[in-house]
Structure 1
Amino acid sequence: MIKKLLLLSLFLYSFTTTAQEYFPKNDGVKTTNSNYTAFTNAKIFITPTQIIDKGTLLIKEGKVVAAGASVSIPKNAVLIDLSGKSIYPSFIDIFSDFGISKPEALPRSNQPQYDSNRQGFYWNDHIRPEQNAIDFFKYDDKTAHSLRKAGFGVVNTHLQDGIIRGTGALIGLTANTSQASQIIDNRSAQYFSTKKSVQSRQSYPGSLMGTMALLRQVYYDAKWYASGHSKVKDRTLDAYNNNTSLVQIMDAGSKMNVLRFNHIGNETHMNFVFVGGGDEYERINDIKATNAPLIIPLNFPDAFDVEDPFLSHAADISDLRAWNQKPSNPKVLADNNITFAFTLKGINAPKDMMPQLLKAIEYGLDKTKALEALTTHPAQILGKSNLIGALKNGAYANFLITSGDIFDKETILYQNWVQGEKYEITSMSTKDIRGNYKFKLNGNSYDLTITGKVDQLKSKVKSNNTDLGSKITFKDDWLNLTFSSLDSTNQNYVRLVSKVLNTNTLNGKAILPNGSETTFSAKKEPKEEPTTASKKNAKEKDAVKVFPITFPNEAYGFKKLPQQETILFKNATVWTNESEGVLQQTDVLIKDGKIAKIGNNLSANNAKIIDATGKYITSGIIDEHSHIATSSVNEGGQNSSAEVTIEDVIDAEDVDIYRNLAGGVTSIQVLHGSANPIGGRSAIIKLKWGETADQLIYNDSPKFIKFALGENVKQSNWQSFNRFPQTRMGVEQLYIDYFTRAQEYETLKKSGKPYRKDTEMEVLVEILNKECFITCHSYVQSEINMLMKVAEKFNFNINTFTHILEGYKVADKMKAHGVGGSTFSDWWAYKYEVNDAIPYNAAIMHNAGVTVAINSDDAEMSRRLNQEAAKSVKYGNISEEEAWKFVTLNPAKLLHIDHRVGSIKVGKDADIVLWSDHPLSIYAKAEKTIIEGVTYFDIERDVQLRKEMKKEKNELINMMLQAKNKGLKTVPIKKKDNETFHCDSVEEHTH
């Protein structure tokens, strides 16, 4: 009978706690306590900047009624005296997956999936704005408890799956209320990411640049759909359009992606809030210029275990710096007045957040700014400042009660109130006995130090400067302390027992090793208030050394970005690449980023004079075909990816940029790979080491796109039997089909009728209109002929055949068509379709009147293109000057930039190289590589940099050794292998 009554009472309680206020009450007479609760005499942080030293917080029915120094307290209020204690707003995490299970990933398959599996939704499975977190939400009491224990009262959760992930839900971490009360907002924000959905095997997008192109297309499709032109209902686009009014949160994950996706946001009219990667300090001015709020993880890296000198040699200096510099990121953001909130993303457990945050404070983050990042800023970002993040009238009663400064290691968190519900973390009756004590036993003096968390105490006992092993427990006000006796010959212990009545004195019984009992009294020593001078000294002593960043913040970076100079080179041998040919003992003046004068006995005011006697000056080398300086190379998810562009994914921090500068390279075309017949658009860049990606790209850059023929596009060398085309015949038909569709698209566009903007077709129309130029990956003469005929059928020309290792067979046809050839100097037989390649290829095409360039397609070879050009002197008897043009003027012509670069001519960009020897010689070194009057590589600086980096690396390693000796966690060194892209590289862009 008792059991039945208990079950009935539990049922009634469950019903009453989940029922809405307007539901009928059928369970008899019941009254609800709606009294006020007043917390008095506390230090109240209404906001991080509005603080009341001895104030009152008044709450009722889960909301703040008033907070201030003189609050009128109603007669029926419950009074809680918090003298000596502090009240803070509870914390908020706005990037969480609380209460939402991760969807189960589909097993991998060898067969690619090209189409969506979902009927009535968007054509791409990875676009999921129709997902609403609230539909997947299930309150997780265990996780909620750990979050509350860490100080959190509210989380903004979402289903972390897909590129567009749908809406989030703002959840209060209350355990004893209905889900309706827990949900503050069931559509709080819309979430984006760079990762695909695990619930689909759909191949596209297979790259970061594909993701960016897809987001653009979604925007155009949604705009078209909203205009009512679609013949079918699309639940995805409906949801996307409905969600545009929400806060848009993009999980970028790095400073580089913040800058990239900020461009996407500008194009698609999305004001993104970015989840960063903690590396924003490296490009703080550019981050600030986005004007975007940030959500910042606190997952600072652990030190490496560098005790093994052989392993420590493998540690990359950028990783060593990250350990030292990343904890300063919040301070740098705050110093630059950037709005940011903290997130638990990347942290193993909520309890691990505070130590990381204290580390950021140790690195200079202001405590007020730290509190803002946990309270007012996340509320502000979500547009919920009236409800959460502060203890203002009408806001939810979400607050913490602490023993003092919440960012003090010794502070105790007593209670976390969420929506007026009390959750006890540590009993307020718990006595804090931490401190330093002195006591005597049997004529011996002892020092006792008690530290740690108030519920996880640690002890240290010393006597006569000897550490005595000890163990402490403290429960229900009873202290038990065991420590080793001074007699080291025997394993004997002294045991102390004390009933703690006050926190200043420990009085009790001592049991000695021989079993006899006596009394002891240990008195806590008062904390010495440090003087101003001692505070200053302690601060200076404890100040963390943060190494300065460089541009880029890795090996060979600049401490300060180099500036444009006026430079006068004297008495050089100048290879002009113009009709003047090679000039002996000639001066070259560069000014305002241009070649200003060429001649003898030149002078210039305020010019930097460089004696170039016995040295050579040339224009900078230009690589027509490269895959360095990019984070993404192939979008092979579809047979055409004209909509993607390498410009979206330029990696300005690729060390191969510096290495290329050391080889005299100043400009490159970063090409899409050859995974599909119609690849993506390229980026033509200058190797301005230390600058951002945007600053590398040529102004008014000519438009180029990569096409491909042969084994790669018909997928000869891997098991993919789904995607069309599978044969060389199919490749031709694909081109004809796409260009025919492009013609139809343009006709519709010009008709004035409604049309859906298709970013892929837009590019193909530009090709037809001779506004975008094709560089085509090619080998076999039959396919080379085929593509020229396809182009002529649609009334345009192919611009460049790259690789073109059978170009010598069709050089006359290439000349007639007007196409150039960018080839290898002497590569052959590395795959079947290259078997007929010969090293005389470049010379034969050149002699037939084709514009010929020698390219690298390889990060290592690109550093010695001067030597590659020299091979054409040997193979084909090309003159030295013409061979040099193969890597300078001719690629400039193929890229339509020869009006700016490629030769030494007055008025052209000052992109020049000072060589130590004949530029075609294997002994020649690039002593200075200059772009637009800025010296980006200097061989003397390089020598000095190597010494400085060795010293810095050694100092960082010593700091890590010290950290390990202090007991801090260390992790094994992971050798950093930078991925080198080639034409057929396919990135892992899945989950």
Structure 2
Amino acid sequence: MTKLLPGFVVILLCSLPLLAQTTFPKNGVYDKRPSLYAFTNATIHTDYQTTSQNATLLVKDGIIEAVGSGIAVPAGATILDLKGKSIYPGLIDLYSSYGMPEVKTIRTSRADGPPQMESSKRGPYFWNQAIRSETEASEIFTQNAGDADALRKLGFSAVLTHVPDGIARGSGVLVTLHDGRENEVILKSKATAHYSFSKGSSRQDYPGSLMGAISLLRQTYLDADWYKKGGNKEEQNLSVESFNQLQSLPQIFEASNKLNVLRADKIGDEFGVQYIIKGSGDEYQRLEELKATNTTFIIPLNFPSAFDVQDPQDAMMIGMDDMKHWELAPANPAMLAKAGIPFALTLSNLKDKKEFWTNLRKAIQYGFSEKDALKALTATPAQLIKAEDQIGSLKKGLKANFIITSGNLFSEGTTIYENWIAGQKYTVSEMPLADIRGLYDLKVGNQSGLKLLVSGKADKPEYSIQTLADTNKIKAKVTRNNNLITLVFDTDKKNSKGETRLTGWIADKTLKGEGQTPDGTPVKWAATFKEAYKETALAKKDSVKTIDLNSLGKVSYPFMAFGSEQKLSAENVLIKNATVWTNEKDGKLENADVLIQNGKIAKVGKNLSASGVRTIDGTGKHVTPGIIDEHSHIAISNGVNEGTQAVTSEVRIGDVVNPEDINIYRQLAGGVVASQLLHGSANPIGGQSALVKLKWGASAEEMKIKNAGGFIKFALGENVKQSNWGDFNTIRFPQTRMGVEQVFMDAFTRAKEYDKAMKAFAASKNKTGLAPRRDLELEALVEILNNKRFITCHSYVQSEINMLMHVADSMGFRVNTFTHILEGYKVADKMKAHQIGGSTFADWWAYKMEVQDAIPYNAALMYKVGVTTSINSDDAEMGRRLNQEAGKTVKYGGVPEEEALKMVTLNPAKLLHLDDRMGSLAPGKDADVVLWSDHPLSIYAKAEKTFVDGVLYYDIERDVKLREELKSERARLIRKMLDAKNGGAAAESPSLKKAALYHCEDILENYEF
């Protein structure tokens, strides 16, 4: 049996592979010596919930043989006495690119050159280069000694690594961080499958928006299913084949924010996949929704720095959401754990990986338990990738991956001494010598009455001598090599005759040896242990100061200015004695009442009464139905156009609804209750619409109008043929207005053929053979042919308007609405004959050549011909003032006031097929109601209260209070940031962050999702 004392450990085999691999021939003599180690007297954390004191860990040939108390040490074992030290399982990171080539993400711009329309990758691969499921990380993986060393020093022993490139990224590989060939460190060659919404290094034009990325992934799942069911007999596709093979593995999805988490989970639900989602650190802002996904997360600890707010002008640039996130981000792990949401932790997203332990300990200060922290770094990641039989705990038969620490791993003063991986030792910090701190009686020759005090930290002790004659402590110079020690001191510096020099050894806290007095007389000396050193709280930084979470700001819905700590709910309300614009046959009622109950309009009339309701005095005020914006681009994330192809009917605005757009609140303040969120006008056939109610603080799914009809955006004019896109954009078809017509003809011809094939297969009795491949692009067009999806078409010039009506007649579909339609007055008779509505601007003209014939009388003329006419915004700012835009039709064309109001209420409801529940004040309809301070078409009118489904989402009185609260909260957070900077914390300079305000023609450039 070999026994080595701490601080003097020599392990001959640590730098060598434990066993030579027989599959690799060796040039030289094989070294097959077995290794057996016994780590004794340690506090061993077998897993996150099991701890043994004075325990032993046996490791043989890189595998754990036994662990626990009372274990007999076998003969021949190398014993390492770890008294006073702790052993933890090696840490695991599930989101790494360690050992992978650098991915250069392509940020495209219209100024960069011509678009790449098709894949440039040769071979039988997917048509789009963002689908890279054939990528196998294990084939690419190459060890990186420097990166591995940096990870080992942080306590990590294994990482799951993959190539973070593309939407479908292929497989990940689980590797350990010890030295050896790649085949020796790989634990699982195909451990996981990886996805994201980012197209990465692909230069291919499609997708050019977040909704395009989602649609591409959705179509990929469908293509893979078709391929699996027999499509592989019609074509070979290595990408799709790999995609199918990876489905049995754990599926990891990278989401860049909390809203993308929900979008990814929705895709997973659609195809029966439960993703493990790599989050971004803002999950606490939507805990209830995230918990409902039943997702397990991989969470980074990327806490933002404080902003430098010394300059008040700089401070004005910081949004309330960024200020609140700075304060609350460290509480994210604690909030997730409290909510019962499982997660693992990752080093990913950290600017400097050395910040990991600082940030983790900060998270513990904010209420994250040490038990949950250890679980998130060991057991959970191992279980998620089905590797708990190899790593994640210290149990018999598992890899000998563990770290040796000075104490509690999560305490500030703790040091990681060694990281053992597969039985190989890696020194992080030198193991301290045996702790001899305490008070000793020191005798030097015949001189007694001396005291030796060994104090300070265990790994950096301080030595001092004290005499009976002098109570002052005399610092001693000490050199120590394991158990050999030398002390040099001068007990009488005033009358110094020189220094006493002693040398000796340590045995069970007794120090003794020989030395010389200042005059050179040889002496023997001894220091006898008297009492242990009492470590003070200042000397021992072994506890973490916890933060009082009640002192922090609260999560609001949405997480930004004007949010509410509690989600708003419906109330029963009676509005009395107002002028009520019913939009029904009763017309405008003076001194009338409106009763709202259970989210619906219960009664409209005079002298109404009801019990258990809140009464609002409407004297001198006006009540109208809520305004509906038929053409809006607010509340959309990462792009309003997927203009990369001529036909993108597969993309869905509903996939990218952004419930945290401040324009929702602003438009509620203008009396708007609902909007059609339209795709832009970058291609002839654009994407599908989302019909939403402006429910401030609700989720994206809660905003969507239930059971609403399907709509889609078509477009005509300059935008779709890209003549205003710059000199490089001369590739994508169409390039002329004639080409635009052919796009429509071709698309619907293909759609008819697709519909015929689908119906034929569905009608076949035994359904033998291969079903037609589902094509989401054509499915949407088939819905149009079957009157299940309705067209809103961006239009200006009468010739093109006539063209599309002719195409529709030829192909057997109907245009529901022409939007913009600034030459509608020229074709109003044909629109009426075709039962096509018009949604236009009140007085926009002359902003480009296509609108040079626009006139302010357009809406009035269409109305007088009998076209269902509405006024829309296409602009976030105009959307706040649609009541005034409607008022302009009274001036330009003499439209009656009640009919003018209908142009922003009932008429858009008709165009959106929602007039059975919205647009007028009738019993049974949704309680979308606005209380105005003045005549609703007046520029002086203010929306004082806006109800949506009976919920008071905007209240002018509450708005005043919110502004005061925001002012106070901003001041508090600014003071806190100033204190943080003055206390030495890093502070970054603010920069103005502008939210996107989309219009029809806006193309997302330089994009990353």
Q: Confirm or deny a common fold (TM above 0.5).
A: yes
| CA displacement, residues 887-909 of structure 1 (integer Å, 9 cap, x when unaligned) | 00000000000111100001100
Q: Please report how far the alpha carbon of residue 117 of structure 1 lies from its aligned counterpart in structure 2 after TM superposition.
A: 1.6
Q: What does residue 786 of structure 2 align with?
A: 769
Partner Cα distance (2:437, 2:935) in 1 = 75
1:321 corresponds in structure 2 to 324
| Residue pair 2:93, 2:381 contacting (<8 A) in 1 also | yes
Alignment equivalent of 2:597, drawn from 591, 600, 605: 591
Say whether 1:183 aligns with 2:186: yes
Aligned equivalents of 2:436, 2:77: Cα separation in 1: 33
Q: Which of the residues 919, 925, 928 maps onto 1:911?
A: 928
The residue identity in structure 1 corresponding to 2:173 is A
| Separation in 2, partners of 1:670, 1:644 | 13
Q: In structure 2, which of residues 765, 776, 782 is the aligned counterpart of residue 759 of structure 1?
A: 776
Residue 339 of structure 2 is aligned to residue 336 of structure 1: yes
- Residue type matched to 1:705 in 2? I
Residue 652 of structure 2 corresponds to 645
Map 1:339-358; keep pairs closer than 5 Å.
Answer: 339-358=342-361
CA distance in 2, matches of 1:721, 1:479: 84
Query: Aligned equivalents of 1:576 and 1:687: distance in 2?
Result: 21
Q: Report the residue type matching 2:677 in the other structure.
A: V
Q: Is the contact made by 1:85 and 1:402 (CA closer than 8 Å) also made in structure 2?
A: yes
Greater CA drift, 621-630 or 788-797? 788-797
In structure 1, what residue type is equivalent to 2:760?
A: S
Distance change in 2, residues 1:587/1:683 (3 Å): same
Retained in 2: the 8 A contact 1:207–1:988?
Answer: no
The question of whether the paired residues in 2 share the 8 Å contact of 1:412 and 1:454 is answered with no
Secondary structure of 2:973's match? helix
CA contact (8 A) 2:20 2:32 kept: no
The match for 2:492 is none
Given the alignment, which residue of 850, 863, 866 partners 1:846? 863
Letter in 1 for 2:648: S
Cα pair distance change 1:501/1:335, threshold 3 Å: farther
Question: Structure 2 CA distance, aligned partners of 1:174 and 1:314?
Answer: 47
Q: Which amino acid aligns with 1:205?
A: P
Matching of residues 29-108 of structure 1 within 5 Å: 30-104=30-104
What pairs with 1:540-939 in structure 2 (closer than 5 Å)?
Answer: 545-631=551-637, 632-719=639-726, 720-752=729-761, 754-939=771-956
Corresponding position of 1:134 = 138
Kindly indicate whether residue 120 of structure 2 is the aligned counterpart of residue 117 of structure 1: yes
Cα separation, 1, equivalents of 2:1007 and 2:510:
62
The Cα offsets for residues 494-531 of structure 1, whole Å up to 9 and x where unpaired, read as xxx9999999999x9xxxxxxxxxxxxxx99833479x
Distance of aligned partners of 1:15 and 1:152 in 2 relative to their CA distance in 1, 3 Å threshold: closer
The one-letter amino acid of 1:122's match is F
- 3-state SS, counterpart of residue 934 of structure 2: coil
**C-alpha displacement at 1:317, in angstroms?**
1.0
d(CA) in 1 for partners of 2:107, 2:960? 51
**Counterparts in 2 of 1:21 and 1:902: CA distance versus 1, 3 Å:** same
Cα-to-partner distance string for 1:540-580 (whole Å, 9 max, x where unaligned): 88768321111101000012111111101111110000110
Distance in 2 between the 1:434 and 1:798 partners?
A: 88
Partner of 1:149: 153
Once the 2 structures are TM-superposed, how far is the Cα of residue 772 of structure 1 from its aligned partner? 0.2
Q: Retained in 2: the 8 A contact 1:585–1:600?
A: yes
Retained in 2: the 8 A contact 1:296–1:343?
yes
SS in 2 for 1:186: strand
Tell me, yes or no, if the aligned pair for 1:297 and 1:345 is still in contact at 8 Å: yes
Alignment match, 2:171: 167
Contact 1:18/1:179, CA 8 A, preserved across alignment: no
Q: Which moved more, 1:398-407 or 1:188-197?
A: 188-197
Kindly indicate whether residue 290 of structure 2 is the aligned counterpart of residue 273 of structure 1: no
CA distance, structure 1, for counterparts of residue 235 and residue 834 of structure 2: 45
Residue by residue over 1:339-397, the C-alpha shift from the partner in whole angstroms, topping out at 9 and shown as x without a partner, is: 10111111133322000101101111001001111111111111111111111111111
Q: How does 1:360-399 map to 2 (within 5 A)?
A: 360-399=363-402
Cα contact 1:578–1:903 (8 A) shared by 2 = yes
The amino acid of 1:93's aligned partner reads D
Percent identity between matched residues is 50
The alpha-carbon distance between structure 1 residues 603 and 666, as it changes in their structure 2 partners (threshold 3 A), is same
Q: Per the alignment, do residues 637 and 529 of structure 1 end up closer, same or farther by CA in structure 2, a change over 3 Å counting? A: same
Taking the aligned partners of 1:413 and 1:958, their CA distance within structure 2 comes to 36
Contact 1:17 1:178 in 2 (8 A): no
- After superposition, give the CA deviation of every residue in 1:834-892 in whole Å (9 maximum; x if it has no partner): 11100000000000000000000000000010000000000000010000000000000
1: CA distance, partners of 2:192 / 2:870? 52
Q: Secondary structure at the match of 1:853?
A: strand
Q: Deviations over 1:937-964 (max 9, x none)?
A: 0000000000000000000010111111
| TM-score normalised by length of structure 2 | 0.87
* Preserved CA contact (<8 Å) 2:55 2:68: yes
Alpha-carbon distance between aligned partners in 1 of 2:216 and 2:898, rounded to the nearest angstrom: 46
* Paired AA for residue 654 in structure 1: D
Q: Indicate the residue corresponding to 1:228 in structure 2.
A: 230
Where 1:64 maps in the other structure, the secondary structure is strand
Distance 1:867 1:455, change over 3 A: farther
| 1:525 to 1:545, Cα distance in 2 relative to 1, 3 A | farther
Where does residue 988 of structure 2 map in the other structure?
A: 971
Choose 12-21 or 559-568, whichever is displaced more: 12-21
Q: What's the offset of the Cα at 1:670?
A: 0.3
The separation in 2 between residues aligned to 1:115 and 1:838, in whole angstroms, is 43
1:178 positional shift: 2.3
**Distance in 2 between residues matched to 1:312 and 1:792, nearest whole Å:** 59
3-state DSSP class of the match of 1:310?
helix
Asked if 2 retains the 8 angstrom alpha-carbon contact of 1:206 and 1:989, the reply is no
Distance change >3 Å, CA 314–CA 479, structure 1 → 2: farther
Q: CA deviation at 1:21?
A: 3.3
Contact 1:505 1:524 in 2 (8 A): no
Query: In structure 2, how many angstroms separate the alpha carbons of the residues matched to 1:765 and 1:914?
Result: 42
CA contact (8 A) 1:400 1:414 kept: yes
Aligned-partner Cα distance in 1 for 2:809–2:878: 34
Q: Is the 1:93–1:374 Cα contact (8 Å) retained in structure 2?
A: yes
The answer to whether the 8 Å contact 1:208/1:989 transfers is no
Distance 2:720 2:266 in 1: 31
Letter in 2 for 1:614: G
The letter for the 1-side match of 2:159 is: V
Encode CA deviations 1:579-618: one digit per residue, 9 max, x unaligned: 1010011111110110001122211111011111111100
Shift of 1:476: 7.8
Residue 282 (1) aligns with residue 282 (2):
no
- Residue in 2 that maps onto 1:950: 967
8 Å contact from structure 1 (residues 196, 989) kept in 2: no
The RMSD of aligned alpha carbons is: 3.2
Distance in 2 (alpha carbons) for counterparts of 1:712 and 1:886: 27
State the Cα deviation string for residues 140-175 of structure 1 (Å, max 9, x = none).
000100100000000111111111111111110002
The offset of 1:68, in angstroms, is 1.2
Q: Measure, in 1, the Cα distance between the counterparts of 2:952 and 2:401.
A: 57
Q: Secondary structure at the match of 1:46?
A: strand
Give the 3 Å change call, closer, same or farther, for CA 369–227 of structure 1 in structure 2. Answer: same
* Correspondent of 1:259 among 240, 262, 272: 262
| In 1: Cα distance, 2:840 partner to 2:849 partner | 17
Instruction: Report if the CA contact (8 A) 2:103-2:165 is conserved.
Output: yes
TM-score when normalising by structure 1? 0.89
Instruction: Tell me the CA shift for residue 71 of structure 1.
Output: 2.1
Give the Cα separation in 2 of the matches to 1:499 and 1:946.
74
> Equivalents in 2 of 1:708, 1:187: separation in Å?
46
Deviation at 1:310, TM superposition (A): 1.8
Q: Which residue of 2 aligns with 1:442?
A: none
Q: Which amino acid aligns with 1:87?
A: I
Q: Where do 5+ consecutive residues of structure 2 fail to align?
A: 1-12, 439-453, 463-476, 488-500, 516-530, 762-769
CA-CA distance at 1:911 after TM superposition: 0.4
What secondary structure, in the 3-state scheme, does the structure 1 residue paired with 2:668 have?
Answer: helix
Contact 1:298 1:344 in 2 (8 A): yes
Distance 1:625 1:167 in 2: 43
Asked if structure 1 preserves the Cα contact closer than 8 Å seen for 2:581 and 2:587, the reply is yes
Further displaced range: 559-568 or 844-853: 559-568
